[in-house]
């Protein structure tokens, strides 16, 4: 489990972006190790250690591993049972002038941990930019449907009306929190520096003949396994957001109100040819659950780091960290693909509103009767009786809601019959939802995406095409 093969993951080979897959590839990892050894040698030379210019030059010229060097490293590791030392020897073969000073004074964690910190920071950058593009896409959707009334649900039971755009802002709000959390995690990442085996820097103090100032110049920050938990926490939270969004879309697909993209030649079911299963949203839910669980692994690893250091973290971190970032990357790209092809069916939405709105409009009808001089209690009783009759038609006989027809047929409501159409206009039931969408996009989304990094990401964001 300690070999370079453990850095490979099946997720990277098919679904993740090229950038994220490359970041956690063996080639990138061992290039970064060599870059760290080079920087260590340069720093030690500048501080007075006898390291030749030729050694530095040979290291600079051989940062990228060839296929032959990968084979050498694999053989060395099989012999030495130590991945870092296998790569020290492999690097020394192509940079012979530096063979004696590569990894000088350092411990394995100097390259493994510092490389991981670099990958965490760069990986968060990829996710932050991808998340910005997703927020931008969903914001365009919210703006387009800012005032399209739709039935709102609480407990997945019909509630008051909202708008399609307003519902989308609920998704975006959580994504904005995820964006904040990912940026905070990236900003908090430091660099491990050079501490030695137990963090005392004894080996470096010996190298510099007891010169504490030179050792401090060589050093920076430490890397606790708690950093893994702090980074995977925001990723897990992003997974929860993605799961909620994809679940909403799956439920809306069942209602036939909104559907994810579905190609003309796509097959929804091998048995039922008519089906249009929300496979993209299902994939998001599936991977999001995996992403949420990975945080627990990091928490458990952090909790069992005995005293100064142990090594039962190594094998699982080589799986957990790449998988978390690759999974988050796939979740975001899939959500972007969904957001770029969402299909809205206004007539289906209108029909469902028509089935529920008569009951919701009863209070408006009662108030209208009162304004015309009627008695509130009497009007309430009339509406109550007619509502139960209409409810019987719907629930017991499977017919349409005919409450409004019953109201039109009752002479008691003659004073307001001319006003019924306006009293039943869905737009009058959505409150400030359209204005809330406008305000949210202006006051929260636009400022969140205003910094140069995110503006550039949105401007360059390509439409995501999923191969499967």
Catalytic residues: 155, 269
> Residue 444: phi, psi to the nearest 5?
-120, -50
CB neighbours of residue 223 within 10 Å: 22
Give the three-state DSSP class for 149: strand
Task: Provide the CB-side half-sphere exposure for 326 (13 A, CA).
Answer: 22
Residue whose entry in the numeric block shows the structure tokens 């006003």? 419
User: What residues contact 393, with CB distance under 8 A and at least 6 apart?
Assistant: 399, 400, 401, 402
In terms of Cβ atoms closer than 10 Å to its own Cβ (0-12, 13-18, 19+), residue 254 is exposed
Token pair recorded at residue 254: 């069942």
d(CA 464, CA 334): 8
Neighbours of 52 (CB within 10 A): 13
**Of the candidates 302, 312, 273, which has an alpha carbon nearest to the alpha carbon of residue 2?**
312
Query: What is the DSSP track for 72-102?
Result: HHHHHHHHHS-HHHHHHHHHHHHSGGGTTTT
- By C-alpha distance, which of 279, 259, 258, 283 is closest to 268? 279
Owner of token pair 């995820």: 178
Pair of tokens at residue 404: 């409004």
Using CA atoms, how far residue 26 sits from 33, 95, 192, in Å, is: 11, 20, 21
d(CA 1, CA 12) in angstroms, rounded, equals 19
> What DSSP string runs through 323-382?
HHHHHHHHHHHHHHHHHTS-EE-HHHHHHHHHHHHHHHTHHHHHHHHHHTT--HHHHHHH
Using an 8 Å Cβ cutoff, are 348 and 164 in contact? no
């Amino acid at each position: 489990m300690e070999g370079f093969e453990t850095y490979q993951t099946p997720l990277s080979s098919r679904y993740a972006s090229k950038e994220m897959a490359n970041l956690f590839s063996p080639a990138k990892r061992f290039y970064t190790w060599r870059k760290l050894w080079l920087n260590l040698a340069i720093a030690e030379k500048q501080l007075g250690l006898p390291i030749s210019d030729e050694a530095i030059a040979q290291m600079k010229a051989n940062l990228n591993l060839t296929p032959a060097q990968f084979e050498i490293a694999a053989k060395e590791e099989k012999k030495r049972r130590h991945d870092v030392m296998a790569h020290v020897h492999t690097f020394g073969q192509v940079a012979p002038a530096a063979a004696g000073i590569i990894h000088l004074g350092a411990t394995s964690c100097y390259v493994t941990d510092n490389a991981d910190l670099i990958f965490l920071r760069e990986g968060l950058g990829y996710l932050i930019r991808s998340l910005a593009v997703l927020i931008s896409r969903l914001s365009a959707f919210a703006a387009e449907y800012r005032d399209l009334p739709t039935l709102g649900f609480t407990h997945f039971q019909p509630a008051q009306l909202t708008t399609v755009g307003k519902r989308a802002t609920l998704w975006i709000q959580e994504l904005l929190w995820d964006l904040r959390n990912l940026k905070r995690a990236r900003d908090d990442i430091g660099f491990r520096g050079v501490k030695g085996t137990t963090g005392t820097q004894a080996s470096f103090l010996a190298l510099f003949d007891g010169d504490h100032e030179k050792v401090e110049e060589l050093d920076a920050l430490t890397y606790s396994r708690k950093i893994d938990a702090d980074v995977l926490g925001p990723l897990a939270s992003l997974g929860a957001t993605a799961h909620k969004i994809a679940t909403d879309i799956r439920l809306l697909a069942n209602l036939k109100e909104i559907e994810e993209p579905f190609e003309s030649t796509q097959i929804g079911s091998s048995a039922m040819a008519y089906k249009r299963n929300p496979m993209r949203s299902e994939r998001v839910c599936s991977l999001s659950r995996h992403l949420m669980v990975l945080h627990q692994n990091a928490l458990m690893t952090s909790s069992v780091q005995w005293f100064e250091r142990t090594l039962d973290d190594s094998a699982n971190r080589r799986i957990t960290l790449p998988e978390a970032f690759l999974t988050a990357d796939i979740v975001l790209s899939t959500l972007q693909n969904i957001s770029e092809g969402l299909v809205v069916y206004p007539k289906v939405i209108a029909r469902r509103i028509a089935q529920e709105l008569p009951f919701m409009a009863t209070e408006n009808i009662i108030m209208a009767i009162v304004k015309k001089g009627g008695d509130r209690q009497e009007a309430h009783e009339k509406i109550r009786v007619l509502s139960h009759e209409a409810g019987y038609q719907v629930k017991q006989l499977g017919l349409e809601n005919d409450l409004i027809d019953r109201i039109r047929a009752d002479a008691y409501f003659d004073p307001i019959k001319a006003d019924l159409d306006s009293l039943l206009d869905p737009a009058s039931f959505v409150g400030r939802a359209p204005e809330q969408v406008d305000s949210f996009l202006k006051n929260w989304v636009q400022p969140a995406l205003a910094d140069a990094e995110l503006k550039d990401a949105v401007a360059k964001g390509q439409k995501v095409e999923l191969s499967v």
